[in-house]
């Protein structure tokens, strides 16, 4: 299958978190992933976009941009915002770190790391954050009609 | 996302349906909190059989209810988590804190109720 790319941009509304994970999962489905692979990608996208909604734009709305690339069996998802940025990226990658008190566990990035093969976080305070995560699907099994 | 609450003896059973994320948790939390205000149960069974997706917002909700019940000496049990919901629950490590069983029937049996 030829490489393919999808670009999405939407405001950081909580209602759009489900839209984002569903849209990315639908796009990735053309590679015929297993259900656990698709669930992991949905989980990772949900966490990344939730981070934008809750942390990047805590008191306002801003744009969220998602680029999804399919390269062979490799899925690459970039989630980008222009929000407040993260002062210490390493600290927020630690399990259980959160700046919120409202029943948030602070495990969003840890869950992404568990669900994807690789994650890269780049952030500048006042400029925004860019998360790139990738996952290689295990088998090439073709599309619909092929087992 | 939906939630229905009922009593099985002195245990409150909350049956959740749909997706648990940052958009849906607030309404579910409010409804369950109201039930917990109306009557303090001996324990809480969160039936996740029909929950089709959960992320860390949902995990925070589960942990919050566990802590809420623990403050009043009550226990919390998770029932029926499967697929993506079960995987996220296990990845989070919450399985070491909140007991889980495969089905609501098992949970009710464990607390001495009818299935």
Which CATH number fits the domain that encloses residue B52?
Answer: 3.30.750.24
Q: What's the pLDDT at A95?
A: 57
Answer yes or no: is B70 within a domain: yes
- Residue B76, domain member (yes or no): yes
Nearest CA in chain B to A14: B23
Backbone φ and ψ for B47, nearest 5 degrees, come out as -90, 110
Tally A–B CB contacts below 8 A: 63
Q: Do A103 and B63 touch (CB under 8 A)?
A: yes
Is B5's pLDDT higher than 60? yes
Residues on chain B bordering chain A, Cβ-to-Cβ distance under 8 angstroms: 19, 21-23, 29, 53, 55-57, 59-61, 63-64, 83-84, 87-88, 91-92
Total number of domains in chain B: 1
Q: Residue B114 domain-assigned?
A: no
B83–A43 C-beta distance less than 8 A: no
Residue B100 in domain: yes
Which residue range is the domain that position B18 belongs to?
2-107
The candidate with the shortest Cα–Cα distance to B40, out of B2, B73, B79, is: B73
**Tokens 């399985």 sit at which residue?**
B95
pLDDT value at position A94?
A: 64
Domains of chain A listed by start with CATH number: 4-136 (3.30.565.10)
Flag residues of chain A having pLDDT under 50.
142-147
Q: Contact, A69 vs A4, CB < 8 A?
A: yes
The predicted pLDDT at position A101 comes to 55
Measured in degrees and rounded to the nearest 5, phi and psi for residue B3 equal -145, 135
Q: Where are the beta strands (DSSP E) in chain A?
A: 4-11, 63-71, 74-81, 118-124, 128-136
- Residue B11: band (very low, low, confident or very high) from pLDDT cuts 50, 70, 90: very high
B64: nearest CA partner in chain A: A103
| A17 Cα to chain B: minimum distance (Å) | 8
- The answer to the question of residue B27 being in a domain is yes
End-to-end CA distance of chain A: 16
Reply yes or no on whether the pLDDT at B1 is more than 80: yes
- Buried-state track B32-49, b at ≥16 Cβ within 10 A, e below 16: beebbeeeebebbbbbbe
Whether A100 has its CB under 8 Å from any CB of chain B: the answer is no
Spatial strand order of the sheet with A4-11 comes to A4-11, A63-71, A74-81, A128-136, A118-124
């Amino acid at each position: 299958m030829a490489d393919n790319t999808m670009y999405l941009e939407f405001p950081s509304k909580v209602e759009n978190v489900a839209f984002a994970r569903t849209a990315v999962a639908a796009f990735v489905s053309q590679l015929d992933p297993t259900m656990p692979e698709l669930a992991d990608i949905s989980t990772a996208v949900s966490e990344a976009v939730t981070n934008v909604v809750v942390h990047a734009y805590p008191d306002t709305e801003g744009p969220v941009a998602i680029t999804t690339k399919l390269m062979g069996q490799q899925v690459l998802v970039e989630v980008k915002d222009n929000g407040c940025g993260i002062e210490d990226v390493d600290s927020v990658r630690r399990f259980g770190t959160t700046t919120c008190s409202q029943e948030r566990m602070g495990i969003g990035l840890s869950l992404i790391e568990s669900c994807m093969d690789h994650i890269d976080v780049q952030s500048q305070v006042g400029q925004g954050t860019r998360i790139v995560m990738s996952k290689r699907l295990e088998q090439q099994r073709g599309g619909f009609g092929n087992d | 996302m939906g939630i229905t609450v009922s009593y099985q003896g002195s245990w409150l059973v909350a049956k959740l349906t749909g997706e648990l994320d940052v958009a849906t948790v607030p309404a579910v939390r409010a409804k369950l909190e109201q039930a917990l205000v109306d009557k303090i149960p001996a324990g809480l069974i969160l039936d996740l059989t029909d929950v089709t997706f959960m992320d860390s917002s949902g995990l925070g909700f589960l942990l919050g209810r566990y802590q809420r019940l623990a403050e009043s000496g009550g226990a919390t049990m998770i029932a029926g988590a499967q697929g993506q919901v079960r995987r996220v629950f296990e990845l989070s490590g919450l399985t070491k804190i909140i007991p889980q069983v495969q089905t609501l029937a098992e949970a009710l049996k464990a607390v001495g109720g009818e299935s």
